[in-house]
Homo-oligomer: A and B are copies of this chain.
Amino acid sequence: MYLTREEVQQIVLKAKDEKGLTWREIAERAGMPKIHCTSALLGQGTLTPEQAERVGQLLGLPEPARRALTRPPYRGGVPMPPTDPVLYRLYEVILVHGPAFKEILHEEFGDGIMSAIDFEMHVEREPHSAGDRVRITMSGKYLPYTRF
């Protein structure tokens, strides 16, 4: 049986709900950072066969679903501009601080970019007396433009 990545995503959401699992628990079983494991299960990344195996056992996924999770998907899961407030706030950060980010990047690194491929991202809860904070850390390899 052949399953598309969209079909697998629906199977995963259903299984997660029925088994009462969290993304954190699934990511731990996969041995992956939370964001990256969740992205893969939402059709935005791939798992290794071993990771697919472990996640597949935890969620009770059929074999074709596990195989599908190792196939590179068409990435891009957010209609832009985002209408959901959680996603829009990230978008707004680019609208407002994007130009400053570009200036600082060039000043400190030269003419190049931060990779979104050789890249990791983490989200943590940061306790704070005036109200807890969401802490996002991104780390991407600096890629200089080729010099000739």
Residues of A within 8 A of B (CB): 2, 13-14, 17-18, 22-24, 31-39, 42, 44-46, 48, 67, 71-72, 74-78, 80-121, 123, 125-126, 128, 130-148
Contacts and interface: CB of A to CB of B under 8 A. Distances in A.
A79 B130 CA distance: 34
Q: How would you classify the secondary structure of chain A's contact residues: helix, strand, loop or mixed?
A: mixed
Given A45-B145, A121-B97, A18 B2 contact: yes
A113 B92 CA distance: 13
22 contacts: A24-B104, A31-B148, A32-B148, A38-B100, A39-B96, A39-B100, A42-B99, A44-B97, A72-B110, A75-B84, A78-B94, A80-B81, A93-B121, A101-B123, A114-B136, A117-B145, A120-B146, A120-B148, A133-B140, A134-B141, A134-B142, A137-B138
A34 B104 contact: yes
The 8 closest A-B pairs by CB, nearest first: A76-B83, A38-B100, A114-B134, A39-B100, A2-B14, A89-B116, A136-B138, A72-B111
